[in-house]
Chains A and B, each alone.
Chain A
Amino acid sequence: MKRAVLGGALALVLAVGLYAGLSRMHATWQGVDEAVVERYAAAAGRPARPPLLDPGQGDLLLFLFLIAGTAGGFVAGYFFRALFPPKGGPGAASR
């Protein structure tokens, strides 16, 4: 538990530091799909088309991401704990 708290605190400090550093840089952080793939495709006369299914915009999308992220986290946790039971737990003997 103590290690988990320390790990979480370290990750938080790193994330905040990283964010602070990156946000001060004068970069666009454009993805390579735009910066490379779509640039060369457009130059060759094959610009990207809009996706067949538009994922939508706005707070509704954010809400769906939140719900899906929460559910996905639980499902991933289920698989993880099935495969890597806690040390000393019931499944640990069969490791």
Chain B
Amino acid sequence: MTKRAILAVALLGVGALPGTAYAMHIAEGILPASWAGLWYAAAVPFVAWGLHDLRVRTERTPLFKPMVGLVGAAVFVISCMPIPVPTAGTSSHPCGTGLAAILIGPALTVVVASVALLLQALFLAHGGLTTLGANIVSMGVVGGLTGYGVFRAARWLRLPVGVAAFMAGLLADWATYAATSFELASALHGGGSIGRMFAAIAVAFLPTQLPLGILEGVVTAGVYRFIQSRRPSLLECLGAEERDPA
């Protein structure tokens, strides 16, 4: 089943794209070796945490693997689907990690994001192998933890589940692009200020990512509500209901 899940991710991603994708992924060669190594080192513990979580939860719940496969395929496709943004005249993509985090948890979100990013770097010229660690940190770690944290906080504040899911998708998207801005600024600021370069890059992302984040929030809320209405037991199986008693 795991092989099928990986195959689904690979085939869906390759099949979804008729050309080079446009995204936040940091391309091959942009980061100096020392920074690329640092971001790899930062990503490894989170990937290990996710793999451990996968093993434990798979032993407990038989439905878990197909769900991880489906979520992985969704993250793969979503994170390499260029969407034109009329307000900016440019294209970008949502991340899907906010949705993944509230469905399968932040640890496994890092795993599915890592698989998606690795396949994109290998076969789609999207991102890069040297910058894989940085891309995992921004999309998988920061996006996943933000989405999960926001969803839990919103539920703790007794906000409706649709609103919580919307905020999770929205802020996970924006946090991913903020993290990418920081990664670029920290490595490339040269003699200038990191803060100034971070602000400049983040502001450059804004016209495209502001509306796209809202779209991602709407999609996240829609998918969560779909599962809740169509098969609520699945959320219980995944542990989402335990985390979401309301």
A interface residues (Cβ-Cβ under 8 A, vs B): 21-22, 25, 27-41, 44-55, 62, 64-73, 75-76, 78-80, 82-84, 94-95
Contacts and interface: CB of A to CB of B under 8 A. Distances in A.
Given A55-B123, A94-B233, A95-B233, A32 B24 contact: yes
Given A37-B26, A48-B29, A76 B121 contact: no
B184 A40 contact: yes
Interface residues of B, number: 65
A63 B104 CA distance: 34
B40 interface: no
A48 B12 CA distance: 26
B123 to A, nearest CB: 6
A25 B89 contact: yes
A72 B232 contact: no
Given A41-B188, A48-B30, A95 B232 contact: yes
30 contacts: A22-B84, A29-B84, A29-B90, A30-B22, A30-B90, A31-B91, A32-B22, A32-B91, A33-B22, A34-B22, A35-B204, A37-B180, A38-B30, A41-B27, A44-B188, A46-B188, A48-B29, A52-B128, A53-B123, A53-B125, A54-B125, A65-B18, A67-B15, A72-B12, A72-B15, A75-B7, A79-B5, A79-B70, A83-B67, A95-B233
A73 B22 CA distance: 22
A88 to B, nearest CB: 13
B27 A83 contact: no
Contact of A46 (B29, B67, B121, B125): B29
Contacts of B121: 51
Nearest to A72: B11
B75 interface: no
Given A68-B14, A68-B15, A46 B84 contact: no
Interface of B: 4-5, 7-8, 10-18, 20-32, 63, 66-67, 69-70, 73, 82, 84, 86, 89-92, 121-125, 128-129, 180, 184, 187-190, 197, 200-201, 204-205, 208-209, 227, 230-234
A62 B188 contact: no
B129 A36 contact: no
A55 B124 CA distance: 6
